Amino acid sequence: MSEIRPWLLYGAYGYTGKLIARAATGQGVRLLLSGRREDPLAELAKPLGLPWRRLDLDNRARLVESLQDCAGVLNCAGPFVRTAAPMIGACIAARRPYLDITGEIEVFEFCHSKDDEARAAGIPLCPGVGFDVVPTDCLAAVLEQALPAAQALALGFDALQRISPGTARTMTAGIKDGGCIRRDGRLVRVPLGWHTRRIDFGSGEKLAVTIPWGDVATAYYSTGIGNVRVYAPASPRSVKHMQRINWLRYLLRIPALRDFMENQAAARTRGPNGEELDKGRTHVWGEACTAQGECIVGTLETPNGYALTRDSALEAIRRLSDQPPDRGGYYTPSLLFGTRFVETLPGVGAIKIERRLPLSREQQPL
């Protein structure tokens, strides 16, 4: 019997990479830890008894060669706008599946642009197999199934949690691009703090503001709905702060200043602690509407976003190892693993759908 090949976990010594590596050892998922720096790799791998390999994404030949003895790649090294392209190129060349935990719109769009190449190689490309964007993607797909005539989709989440250094770095890097929505099937850049509305995520109405979340890209491919916005709760003061930042966004296009700001943001956070991971809850919300104002609302409760990412990424590896798709190409999580995939994860509740009264003309999203 041939030996089962491990999955390459790139970015293993980051906050989420560590969560996944430690959980995998108790769940029978074989991993090969990887990243750019030897010392943190060795420090993480030794107590876990896992193999490790230093890899430089700039060395394509070495990267492709290294994937030959791996079953696939789970990329946890952000900002993914810098790591996804070289790793995806290597996966296509080596004919190995690619997964990551990004929430970056540009990365989702890049992966989608590689659909033909991935099909020819016979491998799936599925970015966003974590909290970015598994819960919202599955909720979007369920909403579309319940209201096939929907032409507008709004999604959102209320997550009271500390972010990891990697997330802080990625969010800071993305400020320069501003906000983003999808309108009539096309991505449209808008200012930060562009639109606000009141949303009941599960504990009463709150002010919410548009954010450039990954579903602006992925929900269109999952549902075919051409108008998509994503919201998160924000105080009036926070919204004003976001709007003021629009005047300074151009400064983050200066590489030295951008790197400094990213490092400062990463240094100010350590991510959720053990208790927050175990007890934290996130409320996910979605709304699908027709052009005539008929709407349905969906809600979902999940664990802390980082705990969900840990569990969903490992489940994605298991499913691809046990039953790979019939064809290669680009996938969203709901397209690859099913619309109810999120409900199979530990601590996740059932998606609840309810209809509501038609919107007034002023409220209609189209």
Residue 139, domain member (yes or no) = yes
Distance CA 51, CA 98 (A): 20
Q: What is the CATH number of the domain that holds 147?
A: 3.30.360.10
CATH of residue 17: 3.40.50.720
pLDDT per position as a tens digit, 118-169 = 999 999 999 999 998 999 999 999 999 999 999 999 999 998 667 777 676 6
Cα 16 to its chain centre, rounded Å, is: 12
Residues 103, 242, single domain; the answer is: no
Low-confidence winner among 80-94, 180-194, 218-232, 346-360 (lowest mean pLDDT): 346-360
With beta carbons less than 8 A apart as the criterion, state whether 329 and 118 touch.
yes
Average pLDDT of span 305-321: 96
Residues 294 and 161 in one domain: yes
Q: Residue 252 domain-assigned?
A: yes
| Helix, coil or strand: residue 66 | helix
User: Are both 208 and 175 inside the same structural domain?
Assistant: yes
Average pLDDT over residues 321-331: 95
Residues 73 and 157 in one domain: no
Residues 124/329, Cβ–Cβ less than 8 Å? yes
- At 358 the pLDDT is 52
Are both 143 and 271 inside the same structural domain?
A: yes
Token digits of residue 172: 């800071």
The answer to whether residue 232 sits within a structural domain is yes
Same domain, 248 and 328: no
Overall pTM surpassing 0.75 (yes/no): yes
Q: Do 296 and 215 belong together in one domain?
A: yes
The answer to whether the beta carbons of residues 310 and 273 sit under 8 Å apart is no
Q: Is residue 265 part of a domain?
A: yes
Could you give the number of structural domains in the chain?
A: 2
Reduce the DSSP state of residue 98 to 3 states and report it: strand
Which ranges of the chain would DSSP assign to H, the alpha helix? 15-24, 38-48, 60-66, 80-94, 105-113, 115-121, 134-146, 165-174, 215-223, 236-245, 255-267, 274-279, 305-322, 333-337
Residue 275 domain-assigned?
A: yes
Whether residue 365 lies inside any domain: the answer is no
- DSSP symbol at 58: T
182, 297, 314 from 331: Cα distances, Å:
19, 25, 17
Task: Note the pLDDT tens digit of each residue in 225-265.
Answer: 999 999 999 999 999 988 988 887 777 677 787 778 767 77
pLDDT given for residue 365 in this prediction: 54
Domain shared by 46 and 150, yes or no: no
What pLDDT was estimated at residue 272? 75
The amino acid at residue 34 is S
pLDDT at 216 over 80: yes
Residues 225 and 153: their CA atoms lie apart, in Å, by 7
Mean pLDDT of 16-43: 95
**Considering all CA atoms of the chain, what is the largest pairwise distance in Å, rounded to the nearest integer?**
65
SS3 (DSSP) at 12: coil
Domain span including residue 213: 134-304+346-356
Check: CB of residue 94 under 8 Å from CB of residue 67: yes
Q: What SS3 state is found at 270?
A: coil
Give yes or no: residues 293 and 313 share one domain: no
User: For the chain, what percent of residues have pLDDT higher than 90?
Assistant: 76
Query: What confidence score (pLDDT) does residue 356 get?
Result: 67
One domain, residues 48 and 183 = no
Dist. CA 125–CA 5, nearest whole Å: 19
- Tokens standing for 345? 């994860």
Same domain for 315 and 204: no
| Residue 361 is assigned to a structural domain of this protein | no
Contact (CB, 8 A) for 16 and 101: yes
115 lies in the same domain as 139: no
**CB contact burial 21-45 (16+ within 10 A = b; e otherwise):** beebeeeebbbbbbbbeeebbeebb
In a domain? residue 147: yes
Mean pLDDT of the chain: 91
